[in-house]
Amino acid sequence: MEKFRKRKLEPFNDVLVITTCNFHDERGFFSEHYNKKEIEMLTGTSVDFVQDNFSSSKKGVLRGLHFQSEPHSQDKLLRVINGEILDVVVDLRTQQETFGKWASIILTDTSNEMLFLPSGFAHGFLCLSTCAQVHYKCSNYYNKNSEKTLIWSDKFLNIDWQEKSLIDDFYISEKDQNGLSFDRLREAGLLFE
């Protein structure tokens, strides 16, 4: 039995939803969440994850949209450990057909799904459950000077955070409330080739 399966998160060819398999017996189950060789085969790229992050959020918390600019950009592999989130990604790569497009997916602790996100994307999520805990692996270390925030409510992107959430009141940090617009990031040369 295969350990991992993948599908594309449309409209992107390289943002992947990776499903892990649970192996059940009378004791419960076992699941392999990360295998460098398998993930590299699925993604078609060599990725060295150097930092693991963990966040815990209460219902209605909206985090993002975050990314690190070059040369500290990050590939990410994330999964929900507990709860449910609406996960959103935005393509910031100016040379791609999908530049400026976004996609969303609901990830849960029971779906056995991980999201692989190559560098060049902004990422954020909205907590849909009472509490959500998210674990993510990063291919580059956190760098305060290259940390950027794309405003979650950008008018050009017009992300519909409420379509799948039924949440009216968001809890958003001051840093995220002060994120830059898509146009401002482009004018400042902070997007990706």
Q: What is the CATH number of the domain that holds 28?
A: 2.60.120.10
Predicted local confidence at residue 1, as pLDDT: 56
Q: Are 92 and 67 in contact (CB under 8 A)?
A: yes
> What is the model's pTM?
0.93
Q: Is residue 192 part of a domain?
A: no
Q: Is residue 42 part of a domain?
A: yes
Catalytic residue list contains 34: no
Q: Residue 85: which domain range?
A: 4-187
DSSP letter for each residue of 26-88 = TTEEEE----HHHHHHHHTS-----EEEEEEEETTBEEEEEEE-TTS---EEEEEEESEEEEE
CA–CA separation, 151 vs 153, rounded Å? 5
CA–CA separation, 56 vs 63, rounded Å? 11
Q: Structural domain tally of the chain?
A: 1
Predicted local confidence at residue 21, as pLDDT: 80
Q: Is residue 14 part of a domain?
A: yes
Q: Is residue 182 part of a domain?
A: yes
Per-residue pLDDT tens digits of the chain, which is 193 residues long = 578 899 999 999 999 999 988 777 899 878 788 888 888 988 999 999 999 999 999 999 999 999 999 999 999 999 999 999 999 999 999 999 999 999 999 999 999 999 999 999 999 999 999 999 999 999 999 999 999 999 999 999 999 997 766 787 899 999 999 999 999 999 999 999 8
Catalytic residue list contains 171: no
Of 33, 34, 136, 142, the catalytic one is: 136
Of 24, 33, 66, 123, the catalytic one is: 66
